[in-house]
Amino acid sequence: MKRSITIGLATTAGAALLLTGCSGGGGGGAEGGDADTLTISGWSISTTPEFQLLADGFAEQHGGDIDVKLVEYDPTEYNTLITADLAAGSAPDVITQKEVKALTTFQGGGQLAGVSDVSLPDDIAGVENYQVDGVSYATPYRQDSWVMYYNKDLFAQAGVDEPDGSWTWDDYVEALRALGEGLDGAKAAYQHSWQSAVQGLATAQADTDILTGEYGQFAEAYERVLTLQDEGLQEPFNTVSANQLTYQGEFGTQKAATMFMGTWYTGTLIAQQASGEAEEFEWGIAPVPQKDASTAGTDSVPVTFGDPTGFGINANIDEDKQALAKEFLEYAASEEAAISLAEIGIRPALLTDAVVEAYFGVDGAPQDELSQFAVQTNDTRAENPASERTNPIQNILNDLHSAILSGSADVDDAIAEAEERVASEVPAE
């Protein structure tokens, strides 16, 4: 019986180190065209268990008669290395889509096969994120949404009421100020250095997208962040950047009472508390604060943002291998796979009752009703539209983010400059 194994890949494209031998053959892909072997790209495989879990599950579904091999790439250079391997004809059969904004690079180069014929569950999220001109070039298997993690013990220590799901941004600022007065040694909030933490929420709640070239929705959000920094309620951007603070370290060691982060952090925090890397404390998950009361409260659907993670297929592999790869995409999107992902604390793209039960059935997961509401009830809007313009625009908006929070530019001036740059540097479609 064959088994699922891992291939380690060096940080240079095409330099694979095989942990076990396999037969050669034609047909493209990192491991050749063996009909009973499927190769899948991934990153940080030892700390990102979803890849091996899905590989093993698919192999088991086939009775162990196929090998599913993982090809590991440097996570910081993933898109660059995958692009190079696709161009060289040495890429794996299945191409994991780490960032939606890279999809059109692969699709535009003719490197991804169309997968609109892959059968997907009706209620799976994120399908449209991978469509270009009505054709799907990848399918989702997980859909993270941004939520607010909070430390119940620190709220109790400060004598502040926990979130109840009804917070607007004004309520949030009021709560942070109360936490600041009541906490000894911990900050009221931690905000990571990513532009997403500010821009993603502002764009989603303004019901717009970055392709418009207009970014006035950022102004209020950045003014609020600057106020919270000035009042000492969260670490300044310059401190976070200079000291290379990690969100896992800040929240996991109780240096902050609240934190906005994607739902991927649930599994990480559970694992780190179990291993001792994070301290023991009671925590929960709440919706992110809302623009106004119309989407706040557990009788409403809070607006947030998040992109899916999915799988595409190398267009250069033969028809038989493409057929096997499509079977894998179908499996990865299935309820069976979703339950397996949920059992390790990952929020799948498919959320059925059984999947939600598995997600919160993990030892160490929060059990309160608000946490369950926050994870499964939200209007999650895309941060990165599938467009060739997305990448260059995001680079400009990252410059805006750094300029404002480092103190080198005024909010309004930085927004105006970004709008001018997008208009002049990023041609309209």
Closest CA to 95 of 119, 58, 70: 70
Average pLDDT over residues 349-359: 94
Helix (H, G, I), strand (E, B) or coil at 78: helix
Specify the range with the lowest mean pLDDT, choosing from 9-23, 331-345, 408-422: 9-23
Using an 8 Å Cβ cutoff, are 72 and 101 in contact?
no
Q: Global pTM?
A: 0.86
**Residue pLDDT, tens place only, 318-353:** 999 999 999 999 999 999 999 999 999 899 999 999
Using an 8 Å Cβ cutoff, are 267 and 144 in contact?
no
C-alpha to C-alpha distance for 152 and 368, rounded to whole angstroms: 11
Closest CA to 416 of 213, 195, 194, 196: 213
Helix (H, G, I), strand (E, B) or coil at 143: strand
Q: Which fold has domain 146-305?
A: D-Maltodextrin-Binding Protein; domain 2 (3.40.190)
H-type helices in 206-307, by residue range?
218-230, 237-242, 247-252, 265-275
H-type helices in 74-130, by residue range?
78-88, 103-108
Report the chain's terminal Cα–Cα distance, integer Å. 51
Residue ranges per structural domain of the chain:
5-143+307-351, 146-305
What is the predicted pLDDT for the residue at 295? 98
Single-letter residue type at 308: P
What is the predicted pLDDT for the residue at 429? 72
Indicate whether 379 pLDDT > 90.
Answer: yes
**Strand pairing category for 308-313 and 94-97:** antiparallel
Give me the chain's average pLDDT, please: 91
CATH superfamily of 5-143+307-351: Periplasmic binding protein-like II (3.40.190.10)
Average pLDDT over residues 368-393: 93
Residue with tokens 């992109």: 307
**Residue pLDDT, tens place only, 129-188:** 999 999 999 999 999 999 999 999 999 999 999 999 999 999 999 999 999 999 999 999
C-alpha to C-alpha distance for 401 and 293, rounded to whole angstroms: 27
pLDDT band at 64 (very low <50, low <70, confident <90, very high): confident
- Percentage of the residues of the chain whose pLDDT score is greater than 90: 85
Q: What are phi and psi of 112, to 5 degrees?
A: -115, 135
Tell me if 5-143+307-351 shares its fold with 146-305.
Answer: yes
Helix (H, G, I), strand (E, B) or coil at 256: strand
DSSP symbol at 286: E
Indicate whether 412 pLDDT > 90.
Answer: yes
